Amino acid sequence: MTRLDTPPTPLRAWLGLLVILGPVLLVAMDGSVLFLAMPAITDALTPSADQSLWILDSYGFAVGSLLIAFGAIGDRYGRLRLLLVGAAVFGIASAAAAFAPSAEILIGLRVLMGVAGATLLPSALAILSTLFADPRARAQAIGIFAATFAAGFAIGPIVAGQLLTRFWWGSVLLINLPVLLVFLLLAPVLLREVRAPGTGRVDGASVLASAGGLLLTMYAVKHAAAVGLSATGSVAGVAGVLALSWFVRRQSRIAHPLVDFALFRNPVFAIAIVTGFLPLAAWSATAYLTGTYLQSVLGLTVARAAVLAVPGAVVLTAAAVVTPAVVDRIGRSNALISAHFLIAAGLSLLLLADAEGGSGWYLASTAVAGIGYGISFSVVADIAVAAVPPERAGSAAALAETGNELGNAFGIAVFGSLAALVFRLAGPDLAPTLGETLGLPETPAVALDAARRAFVTGLRAVASVAAVLHVVLGVVAVLVLRADKRAVPVPDDGTGGERAAAPA
């Protein structure tokens, strides 16, 4: 029920939310839509081992490294303007990437898609928060936003699987165009421009240091996993760490930092942001690896692999939708804690899969972990908006979404590199990836079986490490959040229950 002193939410606000959800869904989908398409891309473009990883995570790194910067830019120059420009560039880059003739060009266009995608998320959430005057309606809209973002990640492989049964791999990127066209036509009518006063200038040095540091560090990790330690990779890694360290120090010295690290003094907020990062890392890595496992190890068709992904996607989306109501009953801390242990339990089920069979264990894994993923995706967006003043909404929303996007990219880079390293060490040493090994002519059956078993070993290694990290973070959450009174539910005062307890 709407509070008596708050006017009813107009229909235009809900229509505006509906329009905003289109680009949000696409940005999330494009972080995962290529997972099932990678075997087809490998056949068409023959990328190397490190190029395959860059095709998957260059998009996520571009989005994650620039979200904070574009959040600040939107606050200063106008969020709707940034949304419209970003949507147009996103569509153009998507169309070009669908017809990329080489792995190098595809990587470059995926980076451009990521740059455009980084303009969409923080501005979309900031505009959404201004559409709804009623706190309850606003909380409901944010929950829908979070569920849509989560659903985008989950359904990306499913949509790709259905398209790949009929069209070439580039079709999974062309589906962006009609959604973006509708957005560009309706957004100027239903949404209004929003700026935040007194935001100051955007610090270009901070933008370069954060983006460059992330890319150099991840290049070093990928290079080491693919070919081993080298002078080039080591120099890149050291330079990346130094750039990121300088970025962190600079944020405390400038008047208008890109990242307000003071927010992390609130332990609830800090744990929630990490909760946004690690689950996305685990989900993206296992979604990519299990997509290859189902097709290249078990020999399933892409359509069958896509069907097997449906239950997990449904569970994840449903969990994200109902989480706000659950949080009001059990409290934010209990929700965050349960998310980590549910994800760890689901990941552990992947250890029972082997090269001879395991689709049932895959289904069980995605169903159990999907509950935890849905909780984590929903709670992070809620806390981001509740913890900051309205004039910092764009930058704070960017910080929350940065955790998600960087988790997505880091999952492919770090966990994907771990799987590649295990395959290189345990495989038949004929090629650096399973796809390349299976494509070699006249390869003995015993070598192919060894390659499949080595890939499964890599998948198990990733699932094990990710599960342990979630257990550790779950224990930390128990110790930190249970001791923090701000994590305890408070009586409903008409502003969304526990969410109102978070200090601004």
Q: What is the pLDDT of residues 365-386, one digit of tens each?
A: 999 998 998 888 777 766 656 6
CA distances from residue 445 to 312, 438, 449, 452 in whole angstroms, order as listed: 33, 10, 6, 11
What the block records as the tokens of 440 is: 């070699």
* pLDDT score for 7: 60
187-222 pLDDT per residue, tens? 888 887 766 555 556 777 887 888 788 778 877 877
pTM above 0.85, yes or no: no
What the block records as the tokens of 336 is: 């965050």
What the block records as the tokens of 271 is: 């744990």
Percent pLDDT > 70 in the chain is 83
* pLDDT score for 97: 92
Fold of domain 11-202+256-501: Growth Hormone; Chain: A; (1.20.1250)
Q: Are 72 and 202 in contact (CB under 8 A)?
A: yes
* pLDDT score for 108: 92
* pLDDT score for 175: 85
SS3 49: helix
CB-based contacts of 349, cutoff 8 Å, min separation 6:
361, 364, 365, 368
* pLDDT score for 392: 56
Amino acid identity, residue 61? F
Torsion sign, CA atoms 325, 328, 334, 340: positive
**Within 10 Å of residue 278's Cβ, how many Cβ atoms?**
22
Q: Are 199 and 75 in contact (CB under 8 A)?
A: yes
Distance CA 69, CA 206 (A): 9
Return the closest-CA partner of residue 292 out of 462, 103, 172.
Answer: 462
Distance CA 222, CA 224 (A): 5
DSSP string covering 394-428: HHHHHHHHHHHHHHHHHIIIIIHHHHHHHHHHHS-
Return the closest-CA partner of residue 367 out of 383, 345, 385, 388.
Answer: 345
Straight-line distance from the first to the last Cα atom of the chain, in angstroms, rounded to the nearest whole number: 25
Look at 328 and 493; give whichever has higher pLDDT. 328
CB-based contacts of 398, cutoff 8 Å, min separation 6:
67, 68, 70, 71, 72, 121, 122
Amino acid identity, residue 335? A
Of 42-56, 319-333, 379-393, 490-504, where does mean pLDDT reach its minimum? 490-504
Return the closest-CA partner of residue 110 out of 165, 169, 188.
Answer: 169
Distance CA 393, CA 74 (A): 10
Distance CA 302, CA 161 (A): 6
Distance CA 278, CA 263 (A): 19
* pLDDT score for 11: 78
